[in-house]
Amino acid sequence: MKLVTYEVDRRRDIGVVSRDEMWVFPLKAFGMEYTEMLEVVKGLSRSERDLLEHASGLDPDSSNIVGAAMMKEVTLLAPILTPDQDIICLGLNYMEHAEESARYKKETFDGERNYAVYFSKRVNEAVAPYGEIVSHSDIVDSLDYEAELAVIIGKDAKDVPAENAADYIFGYTIINDVSARNIQTAHKQWYFGKSLDGFTPMGPCILTSNSISYPPELSIQSKVNGELRQDSNTRHMIFPIDHIISELSKGMTLKAGTIISTGTPKGVGMGFDPPRFLTAGDEVECIIEEIGSIKNRVI
């Protein structure tokens, strides 16, 4: 099941996508008075989920669903526009990306990753799945892209055993972890260079966790101006989702609504020789199997 935040007729709403992906049905049509996606993530009951699963298979013409809109008539927004907290990110969580990163920084890479690298990403407002990436060309000369699978926590997680991690996942979405490499290098940490306004395209939906098998083994790709750059599978993560949720929850409570971006595979701009960074006018598409794609133009 896919849930979306969208606008239609100058009205913002939360909806479920029909199985044929031709329609969006507002949750309010089924008696659910949620006003934003985080409320859904934190409060959706099992019976409500079952109802929406059923509703996604309805024919809007014969079912008289109030407020049903055709997908081609709506504007999709980032499913979670303003996260409660900074996004938790993993760095270098695919081995070949760790290698290309070390090569770019002219560092020695021994092929070993004993501990996960965690950092955070400030998101004042996530960019719509077909919105624009601001280049910040006054301070950024090496703008880069990173296609990532993001995990959305559905209930407070504390001291979670790895084998129970799946029970705490509400769903998945796509994030482009846009990055300013020169700022990362200058400040010798990643927070500022990952957190500029407009650096978090997200969407196009939240795919609920019960929609796919666990752990997710999904094709993950990115394209720049139609050229395939990244092409891997989420099964190649060094530290899988079980590990991430279990390790983090040993030391801190992962509150419902927490977003964890699980890292990117090889093929980012800095991995090429010479590097192939983004410039104004470039269009970046991030694609993850089952979830869909987001496509954003640099301005």
pTM to 2 decimals? 0.96
CA–CA dist 80, 200 (Å, integer): 11
**Residue 189 burial by Cβ neighbours in a 10 Å radius (0-12, 13-18, 19+):** exposed
CA–CA dist 237, 257 (Å, integer): 22
pLDDT of residue 276: 97
pLDDT of residue 113: 78
The answer on pLDDT for 156 being more than 90 is: yes
pLDDT, averaged across the chain: 95
Calculate ∠ Cα 175-150-138, nearest 5°: 30
CA–CA dist 52, 1 (Å, integer): 8
What is the mean predicted confidence (pLDDT) over 4-26? 96
- The answer for residues whose C-beta is within 8 angstroms of residue 225's C-beta and 6 or more apart is 282, 283
- For the chain, give the number of residues: 299
What is the Rg, in whole angstroms, of the alpha carbon atoms belonging to the chain?
A: 19
Per mean pLDDT, which range of 52-61, 159-168, 230-239 is the poorest? 52-61
The answer on pLDDT for 181 being more than 90 is: yes
Query: Strands, DSSP E only, in 182-268?
Result: 202-208, 219-224, 227-233, 259-261
Calculate ∠ Cα 87-88-89, nearest 5°: 110
Measure the N-to-C terminal CA separation of the chain; round to a whole number of Å: 33
**Sign (positive or negative) of CA dihedral 73, 298, 122, 166:** positive
User: What are residue 172's DSSP bridge partners?
Assistant: 151, 207
Residue 94 backbone dihedrals phi, psi, to 5 degrees: -125, 130
Q: Are 16 and 65 in contact (CB under 8 A)?
A: no
Instruction: Name residue, tokens 């969407």.
Output: 203
- The model's confidence at residue 80, banded by pLDDT at 50, 70 and 90, is very high
Pick left, alpha or beta for residue 244 (phi over 0 → left; psi -120 to 50 → alpha; otherwise beta). alpha
Helix (H, G, I), strand (E, B) or coil at 47: helix
Q: Are 150 and 218 in contact (CB under 8 A)?
A: no
Helix (H, G, I), strand (E, B) or coil at 88: strand
* Cis peptide upstream of residue 60 (ω within 30 degrees of 0): no
What is the mean predicted confidence (pLDDT) over 203-210? 98
pLDDT of residue 97: 82
116, containing H or E segment: none
What is the mean predicted confidence (pLDDT) over 129-152? 98
pLDDT of residue 64: 86
